[in-house]
Amino acid sequence: MTKIFAIIGFVNYLIVIFLNAFTDLGHKIIIQNTIFKVYDGQTQIVLTAIVNALILLPFILAFSPSGFLADKFPKNKIMEYSSIFAILITLFITLSYYQGWFYTAFAMTFLLGLQAAIYGPAKYGYIKELVGIKFISSGNGAVQATTTAAILGGIIFYTILFEGMLDASFQTKEDILRLIAPLGWLLVLSSVIEWYLTSKLPNKMVTTSQREFTFIRYIKGAYLQKNLKMMQRKREIFEAIIALSLFWSISQVVLAVFGEYAKSELGVTNTIFVQGVMALAGVGIVIGSVMAANLSKYFINTGLVAVGSFGITLLVFFIPFVSSMSLMAFMFTLFGIFAGLLMVPLNAHIQFLSPRVHLGVILAGNNFVQNVFMFSFLVLTTLFAYFGMNAEVLFYLMFLVGLFLSFMLYKRYSVMTFWAIIELVFRTRHNYKFVGLENIPHAKAILLLGNHVSWIDWIILQLSMQRRIHFMMDKDIYRWRGFNLLFKKGEVIPLSPKAFKDAFKEAHKRLQNGEIVALYPEGEIATSSEIGVFNRGYELIPNSYDGVIIPFFIDGVFGSLFSKHKPLKKKSFFKRREITLYFAPPVSKETKAEELQKIIQNMKERYETQ
């Protein structure tokens, strides 16, 4: 992930992202803390929900123009001019603070939301342009971590200053605003610095949209209909957008009601403690985003999203059972970690699948759908609170939404979810490094042939790539009770001395379909560190398919629990094992067993001396 920071403009871009979120969050926190100090019960929930809705509504209204602008003009320029707008807004907000105009400052939240709505598609679309496909997961991870760090920093920074500037003299919300008015200048300063840095971002736009924007068509909803249809052209994009929308809706409701819950059920009245606990979700998102980026180092690991969703769902269910703020802080941190695992792969997946020419529209549509969902959930929260429904019931309702989200994501990414769980478990003991992935064709059929060193070689191989591998396995092992169903689900090809022709025929069929088949020519797990004699069985697979043989060499497993060879020098139990998988350049389908053995022997000698 460190290589991405060498890209010109990336660090500057991250600072811009930080300042944008820091400023937007700062004003929202000031208004929310004022509501917290003055109001109680249902009124507090209703006003908190409304202030959140004022931020979301502009994303709904500005969907079409924001997407059009992000595709029509350079995205760095959209961010630059939006930053100028932010300076003007924060100046007026500061005036409202000094005058004690609470409802004016409250309403200005809408304008900050409008600025963010125009800014959003350009901000996220710029990731793909700036870092390219190779670093798209790392780029999203860094942006998500930076945004969350800004939110976390904004919550802590503005809440501490807010509490520090208050005294016992205030009686009304207007008094509070006058006391904390100097904080407005910090909002202005952040906006000015943000504008300066955006003006230095490089222009990465390759092609521009030739479409024109007509206000009449916008008012009539013609753009909305067209853009929504564009989002639905690829079902996987649309489903990812719906999933993100449901996640953010759950999060919005949890954050909207937690303040009242902490005040009424836990007896906490200090905003530092309340906002601090919610801010820990931000710490968790930073951790989760970094984890997701590392676990998506070689491909977008969509299996993480169902894991994240299931974790979030369980935590929302258990919140009403917790009476300790310390335990609540831990749970919100976990909530953030699971959120990072969900958000980073889904955002990267949407950007990856979206055509460059329509990226702005799709990302604006992503914002639109998310904000329609969040706005609707906040409206329902307001209505439920108005009619007397307490925070605990709302938590249970969000648990049900989480169950639906988890089922939806598991159904879409079931195979990837299985492998994500396997990877999370094994990475607690192993650190994996994959060398030579560039040698693997993206579309052709591949016959993977290499050394067999442990019971987990199949896991090591599969973790290196997104495409599914069809392993050839001894039929006796294939029939193991308890594992047979799993092997069938993974479309393993059983191999036995009596039915080897059928197995090789099935392998040939998979290869003809452009798939990947893996086989260990040694025939059994090695009992020494030497490369065993390669059997010639794979040569019986007809070579009438469009593909290649990729030799591989696995290093670092000997001595582990899963290996039969136990060297005299043992590794420390508390030290994670370093396992490396090397892929050689492709070789001809006609390559014989002896020649293949020499290739892998040479790989062993070359890499073991490094």
pLDDT, one tens digit per residue, over 336-391 is 999 999 988 998 888 888 877 677 677 767 777 887 888 788 788 777 777 766 77
Q: Do 2-201+212-425 and 429-608 fold alike per CATH?
A: no
Separation CA 34–CA 362 (nearest Å): 36
Say yes or no to pLDDT of 1 above 60.
Answer: no
Say yes or no to pLDDT of 22 above 70.
Answer: yes
Separation CA 379–CA 369 (nearest Å): 15
Q: How many other C-beta atoms lie within 10 A of the C-beta of residue 251?
A: 19
Separation CA 241–CA 227 (nearest Å): 14
Location of structure tokens 């976990």: 334
- Mean predicted confidence (pLDDT) in 280-287: 84
Which two three-digit tokens encode residue 233? 């052209």
* Domain chopping of the chain, boundaries: 2-201+212-425, 429-608
Q: 605: exposed, middle or buried (C-beta count within 10 Å: 0-12, 13-18, 19+)? A: exposed
* Residue 610: per-residue pLDDT: 62
- pLDDT class of 77 with cuts at 50, 70, 90: confident
Say yes or no to pLDDT of 538 above 80.
Answer: yes
Separation CA 23–CA 92 (nearest Å): 14
Say yes or no to pLDDT of 138 above 60.
Answer: yes
- The share of the chain scoring above pLDDT 70, in percent, equals 94
Of 1.10.510.10, 3.30.450.20, 2.130.10.10, 1.20.1250.20, the CATH number of 2-201+212-425 is 1.20.1250.20
Say yes or no to pLDDT of 549 above 90.
Answer: yes
Q: Which of 93-107, 154-168, 218-232 comes out lowest in average pLDDT?
A: 218-232
* Residue 369: per-residue pLDDT: 83
DSSP string, 18-34: HHHHHHHHHHHHHHHHH
Q: Which residues of 5-39 are buried (b: 16+ CB within 10 A; e: fewer)?
A: eeeebbeebbbbbbbbbbbbbbbbbbbbbbbbbbb
* Residue 502: per-residue pLDDT: 85
Name which of 80, 79, 84, 85 is nearest 123 in CA terms. 79
Separation CA 165–CA 177 (nearest Å): 10
Per CATH, the homologous superfamily of domain 429-608 is Glycerol-3-phosphate (1)-acyltransferase (3.40.1130.10)
- pLDDT class of 204 with cuts at 50, 70, 90: confident
Helices 173-180 and 102-131: crossing angle in degrees, nearest 10, is 50
| Chain segment 219-278, per-residue pLDDT in tens | 766 766 777 777 777 888 889 999 999 998 898 888 777 877 787 777 777 777 777 787
The answer to whether the beta carbons of residues 463 and 567 sit under 8 Å apart is: no
The answer to whether the beta carbons of residues 351 and 234 sit under 8 Å apart is: no
* Residue 315: per-residue pLDDT: 94
Separation CA 99–CA 482 (nearest Å): 72
Q: Is 0.85 surpassed by the pTM of this model? A: no
Q: Which of 12-21, 210-219, 250-259, 471-480 comes out lowest in average pLDDT?
A: 210-219
Q: To the nearest whole number, what is the mean pLDDT of the chain?
A: 85
Beta bridge mates, 581:
434, 554
- pLDDT class of 609 with cuts at 50, 70, 90: low
Beta bridge mates, 548:
446
